[in-house]
Amino acid sequence: MSDGCAFCDIGEGTAPAFIVAENDLAFALLDIQPLARGHCLVVPRRHVPWWDELAEDEADAVFRLARTTAEKIRRAFSPDCVTMYARGRRVPHTHVFLVPTYSRDPLDRLFNALEGFQEQAAELAGLRQADEMRAAFERLKGA
């Protein structure tokens, strides 16, 4: 637990939240600043700032619960997609966003714009070349 962390307080049961699912190592709750109806966060019980710092069992628990929660969102709201991304920046406790999105809603448009930039930007075009891919692969493999 980290002093003053809202997610730690919720996990300890000392702060209110709409918890929609949970397991031993994580819980899923409605976001209090939703981007869409049914927007949930999946949070590890242990205070961990970045998702890649989770222990293996915690990562398994968080992402299993994310899948279960996404299924609940799909059944309840029938979105086109449940968008997932992990943060921990503004609130320094890892949390996975699960946002139901629909064609042409603000988040769908944002991700479409990002994908368009990724696919069309001249600066990034060279990164698709075989030699660049091989070089990145070798660097990552050796890291």
In this structure, are 84 and 136 located in the same domain? Answer: no
**Nearest alpha-carbon partner for 91 in 37, 38, 29:** 29
- Whether residues 12 and 62 share a domain: the answer is yes
Same domain, 95 and 125: no
Each residue of 37-78: pLDDT tens digit? 999 999 999 999 999 999 999 999 999 999 999 999 999 999
Asked if 40 and 73 touch (Cβ cutoff 8 Å), the reply is: yes
pLDDT of the residue at 72: 97
In this structure, the answer to whether residues 74 and 140 fall within a common structural domain is no
Task: Give pLDDT, residue 94.
Answer: 93
- Domain extent at residue 116: 104-143
Overall domain count for the chain: 2
pTM above 0.75, yes or no: yes
Task: Please identify which residue in the block is written with the tokens 């299993």.
Answer: 64
Give the burial string for 5-17 (b: 16+ CB within 10 Å, else e). Answer: bebbbbbeeeeeb
Cβ within 8 Å of residue 89, ≥6 positions away: none
Residue 125 — pLDDT band, cuts 50, 70, 90? Answer: confident
Mean pLDDT of all residues in the chain?
Answer: 90
CATH number (domain holding residue 3): 3.30.428.10
Residues 30, 97, single domain; the answer is yes
